[in-house]
Amino acid sequence: MRSTKTSLTPLLVLLIGLSSCKNTTNSPSLVPPIVVPAISATNLSLLADYNQGTGGRTLYVMQEGKVIFEQYSNGGSAAQKQMLASGTKSFNGIVAAVAITDGLITFDDLASTYLTEWKTDARKSRITIRQLLNQTDGQLSGEAGSATNMESWADILAEPTSYEPGQRFEYGPYHFNAFAAALQRKLQSNGTETYETYLKRRILDPLGISLQWIYRCADGNPQVAGGASMTAHDWATFGEFVRNRGLWQGKQLIRPELIDECMKPTIPQNPTYGLTWWLKEPVSDAIANQNATVKELQALTNATWAPEDMYFAAGAGKQRMYVIPSQKVVVVRQATLGASARSFTDEDFVSLLLRGKKAAE
């Protein structure tokens, strides 16, 4: 754990000095910055014990842009890239937001604008980019847990639909690989850039982070629904960028309202899902029982004590990145795929972080 020292900053000294002076002008008064409660050392210690005991390899906690705790256990290390599994999916919403910022696409474009082979299909011709990103496009979703053996993008695009667009939430990898194929078609309509190089140029390089595609589709394209691996530091840095709504080192790389759009509960079929991100939104048993992942997360998304503005990325093996804007917090947990990780629950992890006790205590 990293220790921190508290000291008066120059801004605080200035505010104290100004408050002692009589205001004799009509100049506007200074507004003090919003102060968020610090995550306590006790909570972090309890969280670290829980993380290690449930197969955690990394635990990386940031608050207000600073690293306040990091832990490596069970074979993890600061330099080791760890599989994100379905945590990879959440990159796609941010890539879409970048592409909209650059004037390439919109969330409500028809995917068939770029995937022209879909134009003659009665259902596929009506699928939007938004529906691909919120998994309501009606396509076959693809087999869960198939990150290591994924069909080519062309084969995925040729798969039949199961439902009308917008009718049903179906969790799986095909939606995101279809989105990546659509964006790559747009990028290559007047150039040679790929989804992979665009992500690197517009997001990874400006943030000074890297991502390795440990799993690719049969055609060599990245498996954008589950194939990425990153260090805890780099994944948390990406989360901090998202928490700051696309602002990085004074530069607005993405229009902030587009980040906000990714975090809105817009689909009644599953209110806990935005555009590639899981949301802290209550969900009924009737909906949760239709999908194993929604059910797994229900205790956290329904928790009355959890911050309403929290959102997160989640992958198999209990890979997690939680973002809590109101507390200026980003937390990354990466884990083994072994039996010990099965005892992990999201509600206990977040409750230990924020309350210093498990959810039921």
The dihedral sign for the CA sequence 346, 349, 355, 358: positive
Tell me how far apart the alpha carbons of residues 220 and 184 are, in angstroms, rounded to a whole number: 14
Q: Angle at Cα 66 formed by Cα 62 and Cα 71, nearest 5°?
A: 50
24 in any annotated domain? no
List of E strands, 19-139: 56-63, 66-72, 82-83
- Per cent of the chain over pLDDT 70 is 89
What pLDDT sits at residue 3?
37
CB 243 within 8 A of CB 323: yes
Of 1-10, 73-82, 147-156, 316-325, which gets the smallest average pLDDT? 1-10
71 in any annotated domain? yes
List C-alpha distances in Å: 4 to 1, 249, 298, 339. Answer: 10, 23, 35, 35
List of E strands, 169-266: 212-213, 228-230, 247-248, 251-252
Tell me how far apart the alpha carbons of residues 143 and 172 are, in angstroms, rounded to a whole number: 6
314 in any annotated domain? yes
SS3 of the chain: helix, strand, coil, percent, to 5: 40, 15, 45
Of 27-31, 39-43, 162-166, 279-283, which gets the smallest average pLDDT? 27-31
Give me the domain span that covers residue 345.
43-355
11 in any annotated domain? no
Burial pattern 189-202, b for ≥16 Cβ within 10 A else e, equals eeeebbbbebbbeb
**pLDDT level of residue 141 (50, 70, 90 thresholds):** confident
**pLDDT level of residue 304 (50, 70, 90 thresholds):** very high
Residue 263: CB atoms within 10 Å: 21
List C-alpha distances in Å: 296 to 137, 172, 340. Answer: 23, 15, 16
167-223 per-position pLDDT tens digit: 999 999 999 999 999 999 999 999 999 999 999 999 999 999 999 999 999 999 999
| DSSP codes of every residue in 256-320 | HHHHHHHTS---TT-TTB-SSSEE-----HHHHTT-HHHHHHHHHHT-TTS-TT-EEEEETTTEE
266 in any annotated domain? yes
Which strands sit side by side in the sheet containing 278-279, from one edge to the other?
Answer: 66-72, 56-63, 329-335, 319-324, 311-315, 278-279
Q: How many separate domains does the chain show?
A: 1
Residue 87: CB atoms within 10 Å: 25
CATH code (residue 214): 3.40.710.10
pLDDT (mean) for 308-318: 98
- Per cent of the chain over pLDDT 90 is 84
- Mean of the per-residue pLDDT values for the chain? 91
Phi, psi of 29, rounded to the nearest 5 degrees: -75, 150
Tell me how far apart the alpha carbons of residues 288 and 328 are, in angstroms, rounded to a whole number: 29
Tell me how far apart the alpha carbons of residues 5 and 181 are, in angstroms, rounded to a whole number: 49
**pLDDT level of residue 82 (50, 70, 90 thresholds):** very high
254 in any annotated domain? yes
What pLDDT sits at residue 342?
85
Q: State pTM to two decimals.
A: 0.89
Phi, psi of 187, rounded to the nearest 5 degrees: -60, -35
Tell me how far apart the alpha carbons of residues 270 and 134 are, in angstroms, rounded to a whole number: 9
Q: Is the pLDDT of residue 321 over 90?
A: yes
